[in-house]
Amino acid sequence: MFRRHRIPAAAFLAAVALALVAAAAAALDIGHVSRTYVDPERDDRQIPTEVYYPALQAGEGVPAAPPPPGGFPPLACGHGYLMPWSVYGWIWEDLVTAGYVVALPRTGGELFPDHEDFGLDLAFVLRALQVEAATPASPLYGAVAAAGGVMGHSMGGGAAVLAAASDPDIAALVGFAAAETNPSAAAAAASVTAPSLQFSGSHDCVAPAEQHQLPIHENLASDCRAWANLLGGSHCQFAAYNFTCSLGESGCPSPTLTRTEQQAIAMLLLRPWLDRVLKGDAAAWQTFTARLDSLPEVDYLLDCGPTAAPAGPAGSPLVLMSAPNPCRGGARLRYSLAGAARVEASLFDVAGRRLRAFPVREATAGVHTLAWDGRDGAGRRLSAGVYLLRLRAGEATLSHRLVLLH
């Protein structure tokens, strides 16, 4: 988690607007159908679902636009607790016009929802879209790609983890302030190998990152996982206004980002990440990592090995080998370099303040060790808590969360 130079708000918003206008230049229109999918393996469970897809003209049941080779990647999106699917228009309106199919199951709206069933609904909807794509009478005929992803907000974000754990064919996982579930999303993350992007808001006291999104991120078995913390963002602003959600965060600190800003920043990261993971666009990964480094309201963790699907243009030369976590009194972190590189390391607290810069070293290819004695740059012993260690080798960056005990 790192602080960078803060650009004026007006300049930042202008940059966001230009990026979104440029992205919309070749945008497609949005088609829509309502479906009720039936899962025969769960006693014919009915899953009412709203499906939005790229079309040449907007409308109900209109034919899908001619797809690219392989089809439009599908995404199943889960809603938050007692929140309707309709509050996520910012997601489907942007992604569909960029060439994605977005399906939003309406299940899970009970006062006491079954999180496991909701996760299985998300996974099943992706498979149901494949059936649609093979049905000549469907407007989606021939338009849906084989590889898809799951995403969700709050409860839906936790359910998306359960979905990805239930089906190894799911190729991408995204969470917006993902909340812990029952069964545990954090525990299920250990079975998820798909690339993952998790978003948090620093002012979220409903599902704070340290108890919800960070354990999910850390437990993932994926060889490429990212976590983006939106500084000044809140839990509920990952959706349109909803009374239930707003009531739930009534005691949280007031966000310093507006709802529009928070959603725009998230989309600036989400779009290129999805383009790389689900569309195979290598240049999009460079856009994603450049935005992580330059957006003024984003701190992040990025752990991607050299064999990860969205590796950098030349493959990442930096791989984390091991580090004790939690650690007592300090830690020894082992990392591997594919070639000679200039290595820089810094330690940050969870607020993004740099506490210590380690001496720069010119390292050869092979395995190396970085020792930390539990102190900041002034030699003061740090209190128990969560800290973030950042390594940079050439153009590759790796971040590792450390829990310090005494």
Q: Lowest mean pLDDT: which of 171-175, 245-249, 334-338?
A: 334-338
The per-residue DSSP string of 340-397 comes to -EEEEEEEEETTS-EEEEPPPEEE-SEEEEEEE-SB-TTSPBPPSEEEEEEEEETTEE
How much is the mean pLDDT over the chain? 87
Q: Residue 365 pairs with which residues in a beta bridge? A: none
**What pLDDT sits at residue 60?**
97
Torsion angle of C-alpha atoms 274, 278, 282, 287, degrees rounded to 10: 0
Q: Which residue has the higher pLDDT, 375 or 3?
A: 375
- Backbone φ and ψ for 85, nearest 5 degrees, come out as -60, -25
Q: In 10 A of CB 382, how many CB atoms?
A: 18
Calpha distance 76→58 (Å, rounded): 21
Mean pLDDT of 60-87: 96
Average pLDDT over residues 129-150: 94
Question: Which one of 182-191, 325-334, 371-380 scores highest in mean pLDDT?
Answer: 182-191
Distance from CA of residue 214 to its chain's centroid? 11
Q: DSSP strand E in 205-245: where?
A: 224-230
Say if residue 324's pLDDT is above 50. Answer: yes
Bigger pLDDT: 393 vs 356: 356
**Cα 333 → chain centroid:** 26
How far apart CA 276 and CA 292 sit, in angstroms, is 15
The pLDDT of 306-317, averaged and rounded, is 43
- At residue 310, the pLDDT reads 45
**pTM score:** 0.74
Residue 38 is encoded by which pair of tokens?
Answer: 């039936």
Q: What pLDDT shows up at residue 267?
A: 97
9 CB neighbour count, 10 Å cutoff:
12
Which value, to the nearest 10 degrees, does the dihedral of the CA atoms of residues 43, 44, 49, 52 take? 120
Cα of 296 vs its chain's centroid, Å? 18
Mean pLDDT over 102-112 rounds to 98
Give the count of beta carbons closer than 10 Å to the beta carbon of residue 123: 23
Q: Given this model, what pLDDT does residue 77 score? A: 98
The per-residue pLDDT for 142 is 94
Task: Decide which of 94 and 15 is more confident.
Answer: 94
User: What distance in Å separates the CA atoms of residue 346 and residue 326, rounded to the nearest whole number?
Assistant: 18
pLDDT at 402: 78
Indicate the pLDDT class of residue 235, thresholds 50, 70 and 90: very high
